[in-house]
Amino acid sequence: MSDIINSTSSDSLNAAATIRVPQVVRFWYFLCWDILSLSTTLFNLYFLLFDRTLRRAFHNHIFIVLLFICLIDEIFTVPCFIRNDATTTPWQAPYDFYLFWAFLEYFLYSLQIGLFSWATVERHILIFYDRWLGTSKKRFLFHYFPIIFIISYSLTYHIIVYFGISCDAIFDAFLNGGLYAPCAFTRTPLGTWDLIAHQLIPTLTILISSVALILRVQWQKTRAHRIIDWRKQRKMLIQLISTSIIYLLFNAPWVGIILAYQFGLPGNVAVYGMVYAKFLWYDITFLFPFVTCSSLPELRNKAKQKLLFWKQHRQVHVMQTTVTRRQAPRIAEQANVSPVDS
């Protein structure tokens, strides 16, 4: 992966710096989606955090964490790209700011994929082995510890990779929509480790665990001796599968391009694929809040109530305005009539 972006070949480096999604397209696409996605993220977090039942449900915990990751993306990394694309000249900022921006972008991406891959595995525990969460020690071991470990590991790893080995880097490709690969990827085997551990394995885990969960639920439903409570587990399955679709749909092209490059795809072709595949991966951030809201009946019903209230309030306001306008001439006419002498 590092050879694609920070290639030692000047031709590849120049290509990486000039290939980009059209600036005006990325600007308006990110701006419109960020506004919609941010408002939906705040709506989801409000009800998931302040509704006691939703907050205590185990299957919602990792989705709350993922929503916070989306929130950081929506209020920092995406607005930075919008600011960069607002003018025809690249955004001039200090080197340290560029480095932190690149670090945060890839850290959040890797953390998202890692956490959701664990969520697909944990969903098997929540549906079929809920007794594993029967005590506080088991809950910490099988539920809280994996989340804490993934976050701690990912943060430590990316801090070391991005800030542990310093070098003079060029951010032209990054500003144009490519990925800044840290110096550690070109000087150590960490580039290969990153590809396998943080992209290939999580993506395959999401695919395999999601398919296995569907097959297992169907198999359990047909067994005579053990039938799961389908109504109770249905929303957990829908929540997972709908989210898996967007993760696979918008992350698979990125992983596929990198793997193809490792197995012989020419670098100049891979650069094109990387830029457009990275543009697609932001759809995970943009669409995840909508999928979360639509896949949870509680959030979906609250959203419908809010929309219905807004619609009714607007209709009442329009009716009041119409009545007022109709009455205005009559009131004016009455005001102009002289009182009758008695």
Give pLDDT, residue 321. Answer: 56
320 falls in which pLDDT band (50, 70, 90)? low
Q: What is the mean pLDDT of residues 168-195?
A: 81
83 falls in which pLDDT band (50, 70, 90)? very high
252: Cα separation from own chain's centroid: 15
| Highest mean pLDDT, choosing among 19-28, 134-143, 166-175, 264-273 | 134-143
Q: How far apart are CA 1 and CA 180, in angstroms?
A: 10
Q: What percent of the chain has pLDDT over 90?
A: 54
| Residue 71 or residue 326, greater confidence | 71
Residues with Cβ within 8 Å of 74's Cβ and at least 6 positions away in sequence, in order, are: 34, 37, 38, 41, 285
The angle at the Cα of 94, spanning 89 to 96, to the nearest 5 degrees, equals 130
Choose among 113, 41, 100, 38: nearest CA to 75.
Answer: 38
Least confident of 59-68, 75-84, 264-273: 264-273
Domain residue limits, the chain: 2-295, 302-331
Q: How far apart are CA 205 and CA 127, in angstroms?
A: 18
Tens of pLDDT, residues 107-162:
999 999 999 999 999 999 998 898 999 999 999 999 999 999 999 999 999 999 99
User: Is the model's pLDDT at 251 over the cut of 80?
Assistant: yes
Please enumerate, as own/partner, the contacts of 198-203 that have beta carbons within 8 Å and a separation of 24 or more: 198/110, 198/113, 198/114, 198/154, 199/110, 199/113, 199/254, 199/255, 199/258, 200/255, 200/259, 201/117, 202/113, 202/114, 202/116, 202/117, 203/113, 203/117, 203/247, 203/248, 203/251, 203/252, 203/255
Give pLDDT, residue 341. Answer: 47
Least confident of 7-21, 87-101, 199-213: 7-21
Contact 198, 255 (CB under 8 A): no
Give pLDDT, residue 6. Answer: 45
CATH 3.40.30.10 fits 2-295, yes or no: no
Q: Scan for tokens 């408002």, then name that residue.
A: 39
328: Cα separation from own chain's centroid: 52
Q: How far apart are CA 3 and CA 175, in angstroms?
A: 18
Residue ranges of alpha helices (H) inside the chain are: 2-5, 10-18, 23-50, 52-56, 58-72, 78-85, 95-128, 136-139, 145-163, 172-175, 183-187, 190-195, 201-222, 230-262, 267-295, 297-336
A 10 A CB-CB count for 317 gives: 10
Average pLDDT value over all residues in the chain: 84
Q: How far apart are CA 129 and CA 159, in angstroms?
A: 36
94 falls in which pLDDT band (50, 70, 90)? very high
- For the whole prediction, is pTM greater than 0.75? yes
Give pLDDT, residue 212. Answer: 95
Sequence letter at residue 315: Q
Orientation angle between helical segments 267-295 and 10-18, nearest 10 degrees:
40
Contact 141, 117 (CB under 8 A): no
Instruction: Give me 326's structure tokens.
Output: 């109709």
User: Is the model's pLDDT at 16 over the cut of 70?
Assistant: no
Q: What percent of the chain has pLDDT over 70?
A: 80
Q: What is the mean pLDDT of residues 1-7?
A: 48
Tens of pLDDT, residues 201-242:
999 999 999 999 999 888 877 774 555 566 667 888 888 999
Give pLDDT, residue 7. Answer: 44
Task: Supply φ then ψ for residue 20, to 5 degrees.
Answer: -160, 155
| Residue 285 or residue 315, greater confidence | 285
Tens of pLDDT, residues 259-301:
898 888 888 888 888 889 999 999 999 999 999 998 887 777 7
| Residue 179 or residue 291, greater confidence | 291
Least confident of 14-18, 145-149, 165-169, 331-335: 14-18
